[in-house]
Structure 1
């Protein structure tokens, strides 16, 4: 009983907070942190099971919900310590309003942009995209920023306002993609033969889809060569491998067929009259 009286009467210097309040606040904080994680996990599972929302929207809602729970927990802990929570809420509201008015317009813009990105889904987790000239795989769309992982394992964070306010090039959203391999042949080459060799090369690649059919088109009569473009459709996952292989194999195929791939060249004619 004496120990209980000691906890209830002993105060922390200059604060008026008793040891009993501190212990109770610590207990509430620990239990509250566990409860927040459990509730957030249950909320995530419920949204995933009962709604048709995208993963991005679910993640955004869970983050908002978790922040709200943490704020409530902090207020409960403060109330346990004897603080006037109503005055704290009013004070925080005034401070937040002041900050928003003077310095956090960008934060509010990023927050609103994050909602629009999650709702309209120009990009999604696991997709390979290009935003503002930066390419990478989407790992997360947060409340304020979108995170990309580049092929060289560089981690990029882009403010949501830049994502929503820019053109987003999504390379993996569609099931199929068209590859293009460009090559030039000499002007004295058999153009019909070159087109047939290039077409057969694409058709013999198992990754090239039969429909739409692969085609070879003449794209330019350049200074040193007749430029061809090999165009074929593949599954999106096969695109880069097929394109890299065709770039390599077209060189050997043309060499075997006696078709020259010329170097850039310039003919200089000298006038002997001067």
Structure 2
């Protein structure tokens, strides 16, 4: 049997010849390579030729890649001899029906992803909180945002939830305020307590001199007067400064003779006559 006869062999239950199958496979392989190259080139060019943040570049690259794969699939079908025009019309009807019943959320997530990429309430590697979930932003995809929690737990959140809810961004600003609350006994010298706490913060090498550290009375509690030590530091130093001040204020108050009382409850019993 000659090669031409083999290539003219028709796949059972169809009008597709073996020649078209081979051609479609070659188109798929070459197209896959072309898509990879184009996506990589597009990402590199977009990164170099614009000031867009990495998160936006990644989102656009993913979207561009999906679009190219859809085009490749249509080209492969055309190579097989499938009528693309009728298929597009049929797919449009099916997609319209599916959208009417079950893909509203996907469309909302897609639109939210576009808004997130455009307005950037969050960015890659920033630490954010969304609906009580905190973590570092790994990526914003076409439909979902991915966070990595401090305990190395990977969280995927639909984009519509990110865009439709308040987002607490702990990394966006260069500086942040640290607050340490401590209770002192009612008979303590408040002026001394405030001075000791203020001096402690001012002496810390990573506490910024401006705005100056401050200590305020925030509450007259049941067992103590609650003081809040507030100091400003670089965002990257927040965790370390917070821990240092918590440990330092305990030691400084002990050395100054300032009592940090335990919660107390007075119970009065009245005996029946």
TM exceeds 0.5?
A: yes
* Structure 1 residue 197 corresponds to structure 2 residue 196: yes
Work out the CA distance in 2 between the residues paired with 1:58 and 1:133.
Answer: 27
5 Å matches for 1:76-155?
76-155=75-154
Work out the CA distance in 1 between the residues paired with 2:22 and 2:129.
Answer: 52
Work out the CA distance in 1 between the residues paired with 2:78 and 2:171.
Answer: 51
Give the superposed CA RMSD. 1.6
Q: Secondary structure at the match of 1:230?
A: strand
* Structure 1 residue 184 corresponds to structure 2 residue 191: no
5 Å matches for 1:12-51?
12-51=11-50
More divergent stretch after superposition (6-15 vs 206-215): 6-15
1:58 shift after superposition: 2.1
Give the alignment's TM-score, normalised by structure 1. 0.95
Deviations 1:215-257 (A, max 9, x none): 1111111111111000000000000111012112211111111
Distance 1:14 1:222, change over 3 A: same
1:273 shift after superposition: 10
1:54 shift after superposition: 2.7
Distance 1:244 1:72, change over 3 A: same
Work out the CA distance in 1 between the residues paired with 2:272 and 2:62.
Answer: 83
Work out the CA distance in 1 between the residues paired with 2:271 and 2:101.
Answer: 77
Unaligned runs of at least 5 residues, structure 2: none
Work out the CA distance in 2 between the residues paired with 1:11 and 1:51.
Answer: 51
Unaligned runs of at least 5 residues, structure 1: none
**Match for residue 253 of structure 2?**
254
Work out the CA distance in 2 between the residues paired with 1:219 and 1:4.
Answer: 90
* Structure 1 residue 208 corresponds to structure 2 residue 207: yes
Work out the CA distance in 1 between the residues paired with 2:169 and 2:198.
Answer: 28
Quick check: 1:7–1:18 contact (8 Å CA) kept in 2?
Answer: no
Work out the CA distance in 1 between the residues paired with 2:272 and 2:196.
Answer: 46
Quick check: 1:114–1:145 contact (8 Å CA) kept in 2?
Answer: yes
How many pairs align?
273
**Match for residue 64 of structure 1?**
63
Q: Secondary structure at the match of 1:220?
A: strand
Distance 1:89 1:254, change over 3 A: same
Deviations 1:160-190 (A, max 9, x none): 1111110000000000000000000111112
Quick check: 1:123–1:170 contact (8 Å CA) kept in 2?
Answer: yes
**Match for residue 174 of structure 1?**
173
Q: Secondary structure at the match of 2:75?
A: helix
